[in-house]
Structure 1
Amino acid sequence: MSTKPLPLPTPDTAGFFEAVDGGELKVPRCRECGHFFLYPRAYCPKCMSGQVALEPVCGVATLESYVVNHRAAPGFEGEVPYVVALVRLAEGPRLLAVVTGAGEAGSGLVIDGELEVVFEQRGERKVVGFRPRKGEG
């Protein structure tokens, strides 16, 4: 069985991944227009300002779409089926992530249902994932 992949930070994403490794979700926010965005980069995609800083977010998200993957990507061979989802953070940005704790093959997931962030330890790093919030799904 192969090892699950790990993110390879770039200069623009290093701070984001350092926060994740510390168990905190921080997202870039423009200090000029207030826009939260992902992926991390040096300039705001809305107003092009370079006044960008990472800010902690609440870790709550809404499930927008998902797929139940029955063909394992390298490193996930022992985990099929698993759920890969498009989620929207409460602050606005969207991201793709694995969703855990959703019942057999995602049977407990509901579009527009609330999710909460979880951090999966992978060796020396952590990665962002989500699970249904208590009382959801």
Structure 2
Amino acid sequence: MSYQRPDLRLAPSPTPESQAFWTGGREGNLLISHCRACGHFFHPPGPACWRCRSTDVGPEKVSGRGSVAAFSVDRQPWIPGFEPPYIVAMVEIAEEPGVRLISNVVDVEPADMRIGLEVDVFFEDWTGLSGEEDTRVWIPLFRPVTH
């Protein structure tokens, strides 16, 4: 199965805390919030670490590798231009168990999806519906790791 970019994708509206996450893909980097006080990663991004409450937090580059913790195969055409079937997955980053993000897994048949599947990030460059450059984001997507 070869991935084909959809005609439409609902683009996020980055906040000051999430801006780095949505724009890190410009340089090919998956940037996850990291606490400098306790050393843990966390997602979604926020102004403080939920573990130790430190505000000494910021985005840090991670490997982009992870594993599928949960998934759903969507077969309903919910979004025009985004044709099913597609896979929505919870991906746990390799750097820290328990830190997960929601994304799509592509280049895999739905019947071959499984919990624990090793995946690697890549990015799609999208401009928001307004067409303004400041709404440009790089959506992190995942595909199976090829050994």
Q: What TM-score do you get using the length of structure 1 for normalisation?
A: 0.87
Which residue number corresponds to residue 52 of structure 2? Answer: 47
Which residue number corresponds to residue 32 of structure 2? Answer: 27
- Gaps of at least 5 residues in structure 2 are 1-6, 128-135
| In 2, Cα distance between equivalents of 1:122 and 1:73 | 19
Deviation at 1:97, TM superposition (A): 0.6
Amino acid at match of 1:94: R
1:48-79: CA deviations, max 9, x gaps?
Answer: 000002110001111111111011232444x2
Determine whether 1:95 maps to 2:101: yes
Superposition RMSD in Å: 1.8
- Gaps of at least 5 residues in structure 1 are none
The 3 A distance-change label for structure 1 pair 48 and 76 is farther
Determine whether 1:119 maps to 2:123: yes
Alignment of 1:1-137 (within 5 A): 3-77=8-82, 79-92=83-96, 93-103=99-109, 106-123=110-127, 124-135=136-147
- The structure with higher relative contact order (CA 8 Å, sep 6+) is 2
- Maintained 8 Å contact 1:109/1:132: no
Amino acid at match of 1:17: W
| In 2, Cα distance between equivalents of 1:9 and 1:32 | 25
The 3 A distance-change label for structure 1 pair 3 and 110 is closer
Percent identity reads 32
- Maintained 8 Å contact 2:24/2:138: no
Q: What TM-score do you get using the length of structure 2 for normalisation?
A: 0.82
Deviation at 1:39, TM superposition (A): 0.6
